[in-house]
């Protein structure tokens, strides 16, 4: 990701990002252009959205794709998670209603170029969101979903679902997704 050459305030970033034709992340005065994903990435996101939406239909939770910006903390990270689920009244950063503050579940589909960032910096940022109960990492290389779940103590516990016969359980939204559904029409490279 290439950084914008000059430091920006969060307000300047939002003004530029709202007018941009590409999405940009923001952290600590810097704006970073984000790249698009692969076809496999898009299929996994669509499958996961479909699985979650069908289970959560009629309930209080709202499932959205990567077009929704999430603001982590004042002056902090602004980013576009691959999947965002909120289960309470949406709270927004301002009157534009395009930057959410209160996700319950965030999902990132890992890419070779962003995996370290998603596992490291972004994961640490996400865990500071008070409303966030779960953060999931979905592999593109194999059928594997890792879910970090906030415990009552405030610590985060990892659970993994591996293999097409497994299911990922999202306790924060009381939903499960079969990995055979999440990876439907996805082919994996031979080892």
Judge whether 6 lies within some domain: no
In the prediction, which pLDDT does 135 show?
A: 97
In the prediction, which pLDDT does 153 show?
A: 96
Buried b vs exposed e over 140-156: b needs ≥16 C-beta within 10 Å? Answer: beebbbbbbbbeeeeeb
Q: For the chain, how many structural domains are there in total?
A: 1
174 Cβ neighbours under 8 A, 6+ residues apart: none
Judge whether 189 lies within some domain: no
Judge whether 3 lies within some domain: no
In the prediction, which pLDDT does 5 show?
A: 63
Q: Is 47 helix (H, G, I), strand (E, B) or coil?
A: helix
Which CATH number does the domain housing residue 165 bear?
Answer: 3.90.1570.10
Instruction: Residue 56: give the domain boundaries.
Output: 37-182
In the prediction, which pLDDT does 30 show?
A: 84
Q: pTM, whole model, 2 decimals?
A: 0.88
126 Cβ neighbours under 8 A, 6+ residues apart: 72, 81, 106, 132, 135
CA atoms in the 13 A half-sphere facing the CB of 178: 6
Judge whether 41 lies within some domain: yes
Rounded Cα–Cα distance for residues 168 and 159 (Å): 9
Judge whether 113 lies within some domain: yes
Judge whether 141 lies within some domain: yes
Mapped to the 3 state alphabet, what secondary structure does 63-96 carry? EEECCCEEECCCCCCEECCCEEEECCCCCECCCC
Please list the pLDDT of the chain residue by residue as tens digits (191 residues): 455 567 888 888 888 878 887 777 788 888 888 776 789 999 999 999 999 999 999 999 999 988 889 999 766 899 999 999 999 999 999 999 999 999 999 999 999 888 999 999 999 999 999 999 999 999 999 999 999 999 999 999 999 999 999 999 999 999 999 999 999 999 987 65
């Amino acid at each position: 990701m290439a950084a914008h050459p000059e430091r920006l305030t969060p307000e300047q970033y939002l003004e530029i990002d709202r007018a941009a034709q590409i999405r940009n992340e923001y952290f600590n005065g810097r704006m970073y252009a984000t790249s698009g994903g692969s076809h496999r990435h898009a299929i996994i996101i669509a499958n996961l959205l479909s699985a979650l939406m069908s289970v959560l239909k009629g309930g209080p939770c709202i499932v959205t794709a990567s077009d929704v910006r999430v603001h982590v903390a004042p002056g902090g990270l602004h980013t576009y998670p691959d999947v965002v689920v909120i289960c309470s009244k949406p709270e927004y950063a301002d009157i534009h209603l395009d930057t959410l503050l209160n996700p319950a579940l965030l999902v990132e589909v890992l890419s070779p170029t962003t995996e370290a960032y998603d596992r490291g910096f972004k994961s640490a940022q996400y865990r500071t969101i008070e409303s966030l109960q779960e953060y999931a990492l979905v592999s593109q290389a194999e059928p594997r979903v890792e879910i970090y779940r906030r415990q009552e103590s405030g610590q985060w516990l990892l659970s993994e679902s591996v293999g097409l016969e497994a299911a990922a359980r999202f306790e924060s939204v009381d939903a499960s997704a079969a990995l055979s559904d999440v990876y439907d029409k996805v082919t994996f490279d031979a080892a």
